[in-house]
Amino acid sequence: MIFFFVALLISYGGGAVDLSEDAATVLSGPESNGLNRAQFPMGFVFGTATSAYQVEGMALKDGRGPSIWDVFINNTPGLIANNGTADVAVDQYHRYREDINIMKKLNFDAYRFSISWSRIFPDGTGKVNWKGVAYYNRLIDYLLKSGITPYANLYHYDLPETLEEKYLGWLNKQVIEDFADYAEFCFKTFGDRVKNWMTFNEPRVVAALGYDNGLHAPGRCSKPFGNCTAGNSATEPYIAAHNLILSHAAAVQRYRQKFQAEQKGRIGILLDFSWYEPLTRSKADNYAAQRARDFHVGWFIHPIVYGEYPRTMEEIVGKRLPKFTEEEIKMVKGSMDFVGINQYTAYYIYDPHQPKSKDLGYQQDWNVGYAFEKNGVPIGPRANSYWLYQVPWGLYKCLTYIKHHYGNPTVILSENEGLHDSTRINYYKSYIAELKKAVDEGVNVVGYFAWSLLDNFEWRLGYTSRFGIVYVDFHNLKSYGAGAVELSEEASTFSGPENGGLSRAQFPMGFVFGTATSAYQVEGMAHKDGRGPSIWDVFIKNPGIVANNGTGEVSVDQYHRYKEDIDIMKKLNFDAYRFSISWSRIFPEGTGKVNWKGVAYYNRLINYLLKQGITPYANLYHYDLPEALEKKYMGLLNDQVVKDFADYADFCFKTFGDRVKNWMTFNEPRVVAALGYDTGFFAPGRCSKAYGNCTAGNSATEPYIAAHHLILSHAAAVQRYRQKYQQKQKGKIGILLDFVWYEPLTRSKADNYAAQRARDFHVGWFIHPIVYGEYPKTMQEIVGKRLPKFTKDEIKMVKGSMDFVGINQYTAYYIYDPHQPKPKVLGYQQDWNAGFAYKKNRVPIGPRAYSSWLYQVPWGLYKCLTYIKEHYGNPTVILSENGMDDPGNVTMAQGLHDTTRIKFYKNYLTQLKKAVDEGANVVGYFAWSLLDNFEWRLGYTSRFGIVYVDFHTLKRSPKMSAYWFQKLLQRNKH
């Protein structure tokens, strides 16, 4: 959303910031009513706004006295959502430079802030707090230094508590002189630099919510209208409003008499204005809507323009409505150089045809009913705040109304906004389009201020509502530009020669950069559209198996959101997407009847990838055997699976191979065999009792049987492809193997042998047969008769059965010889006879990511690639997975700001490039993963994605690492 303003406000003829394609799309083109700065009058001001109490913090420090809001909050537990306070807020008191720098980057012209009366005069009058003065001097000076024009508001709801205690604040006329004195001090102190002054923000809200229903400080009202201990809703709102108007006029009078001629500034007031539209065309409803407008905006603007309250109010309120003296009329009438309009929403209004209320009050005096829909159609979508409906035409009507009823005064649209970021751009676009329409029709609007710059303390809602165009993490107060300028620009600091900068051009011609996911982790629709269950669907039904009992039922719903995800890949400049096909989505029973809805899904996915210029890399199996085959013949433990997998693969080649030219048979078959059959940690959860919490299995034999059938299934599928499809389709086929680098802990022979055993039992278990037609000698010697043997025909089929090998590489460990006797209970991991270490001489092998197994060891990647080159004939290699995870419970802001992940990728890619430069035949790199997703046993408590996914709404937000890839992968344009 931030990019919307970057794009809107950029000065043509040069701009340092690359525009987001998202915002540019929303912003431009006839289909979206394209907007830009040039379409507004010369000198039109675009700004953003906050208020002191909502952003400053330091509420009771550096000499600031308490305001009525400090007391209102602290005296009433539960008054604010989650008992939030503004004691710290978002700490603009210390972070003002950072915030102003953001404004500058976003091309804003101006900043509307408020001055805290009790920070200048802790007691409302008398002694000055010079520390407070110094703060506002720093703020104003840095704004000007940064080319941002200051717009200073003197009052935003925060009366000094001392004046409330001394004489009941706005209910006493003494406040008029005290406010004027405070205003005069500000004019004298800051007016040499501040040329745009506002006396009050939303005085109607101050009077109505403070004195009619008690929802705001000081919390006064009649008992029928709120939970108040004192007050009179029939009279006090009008008294407070009267004194607010006179305070405004007195301050304007001081400014005009003493400062304006010399300082050459201007002064106005900020009024809230909701548009009230008659529900029907009846006279009664039209009169009701006009009453609402008079009691709302007319209550303040009418006296300032005409010197008296609206006739409607005079007639209804009668003697309860204070009167202006002749001297006061002279002072009030014309007391503004401009009016600020805070406009957010609109409502339908109707006449309720009800008798006059026995209990009098300001809101009761309106005698109107509210409606939020008409003929069953809502007036507009609702935002997070219950009162805020998105009604852009309401803004146009408000501005036109001010023009026609109040002599077309100079107007600043001083607040507008209030949504979550997913709809915020459309909100701004549609409201600004209506603003432009009003300007084009002669309304004298000279500026627009977006509320708010920052997420902040939102009064009674505390920190449960976010109005900011800049996201603030309320725990560490770091601010992020909603995944846009801030993330993109900060990501760029990780490139360049001073950081060992990388670029696409440094890799061989044709080198492929992609990103990856797997079906079960991202698709969702686990039991819908004809998909049959996989072994994982059954496995995770055991309570406690997956963290927080997470499931893949919905996951991140790529089944429906694939276009959005592919569009993200395209914007990030990726060349390819490695996805997996769910066997049980194609064949619900594993064999036999085809589920054509599943076929249609993968056709849509593949076609849209190609349409967007993304090359599909299709993996046939990612841990998810059809449960039907597990029940029928124990799945991978039966050699029937070899034929059934080959038949499934054959169908995929035939159905999708006209478009898919890059095939992978299995992802990490070692993980399938070891975690599925040795420890039972993964589906189908089989093991010897000594090695896991399993009800069946044999860790001594089953891992080797399963692996043998995986290798034969791979080879049979490759054979089908080569015999029936490869020549015509001109594709290639391989397998994806995980490879952890095992480094000897010491230089001893024993530790070197142990490390080699680990490599043989890990990656050698699969690549050795595929390259040489037999298992590694180490395995043959140690496992003996428990290790299945290939027949001569199988050797012919297996040997050479890959056009490339995919290597999934994440981490490295130190390995040592434990010098221990052979265990009584045999198992695959026990056969290694190796010990693991994560430190050497007390120095960790590398920083740990969130997952317990994942240490960041970039040189391990280099050693893996060099090992494959030297031991297996330098085959064609794709680095098919590489990445790191964060905890699942990170806040969105923390998740987006993934600088550790950028360093991870930069360091690993540097090692990859080193291996390539030394002759390793690596032709591609796939980052794991595109999206945060379902992370197997960790469920949703681990995030590997370069795109943050909100697991509640499934909204996607690219992280800083995504923008880092975008810059890395951009192509030079000649």
Which pLDDT score, from 0 to 100, does residue 941 have?
96
**Which positions of the chain have pLDDT values less than 50?**
11-33, 418-422, 482-485, 496-500, 974
Q: What distances in angstroms separate CA 595 from CA 531, 584, 618, 646, one per listed residue? A: 7, 9, 18, 18
Decide if 929 contacts 901 (C-beta within 8 A): no
Phi, psi angle pair for 382, to nearest 5°: -95, 140
Q: Which residues pair with 667 in a beta bridge?
A: 736
Give dist(CA 459, CA 477) in Å, integer: 18
CATH architecture for segment(s) 44-480: Alpha-Beta Barrel (3.20)
Vertex 914 angle, CA 911 and 915, to 5°:
90
CATH number among 3.20.20.140, 3.40.50.720, 3.20.20.80, 3.40.50.1000, domain 511-969: 3.20.20.80
Which pLDDT score, from 0 to 100, does residue 501 have?
65
User: What's the one-letter identity of residue 620?
Assistant: L
Domain residue limits, the chain: 44-480, 511-969
Which pLDDT score, from 0 to 100, does residue 308 have?
97
Which pLDDT score, from 0 to 100, does residue 240 have?
98
> Residue 754: which of 829, 831, 833, 821 has the closest Cα?
833
pLDDT tens, position by position, 589-618: 999 999 999 999 999 999 999 999 999 999
Tokens in use for 765? 């278990």
Domains 44-480 and 511-969 share a fold: yes
Give dist(CA 726, CA 713) in Å, integer: 18
Phi-psi category of residue 682: left, alpha or beta, with phi > 0 → left and psi -120 to 50 → alpha: beta
Decide if 713 contacts 769 (C-beta within 8 A): no
Residues contacting residue 812 through CB under 8 Å, at least 6 positions apart: 740, 741, 742, 743, 845, 846, 855, 857, 859, 860, 863
Burial of 28 (0-12, 13-18, 19+ CB in 10 A): middle
Which pLDDT score, from 0 to 100, does residue 450 have?
87
DSSP 389: B
Find the DSSP H helices in 790-850. 792-798, 828-832
Residue with tokens 């009649």: 222
pTM of the model: 0.62
Q: Which residues are catalytic?
A: 668, 881
DSSP 844: E
Residues contacting residue 689 through CB under 8 Å, at least 6 positions apart: none
- Annotate 263-321 with DSSP letters as a single string: H--EEEEEEE--EEEESSSSHHHHHHHHHHHIIIIIHHHHHHHHSS--HHHHHHHGGGS
Q: If residue 774 lies in a helix (H) or strand (E), which one and from where to where?
A: none
DSSP 76: S
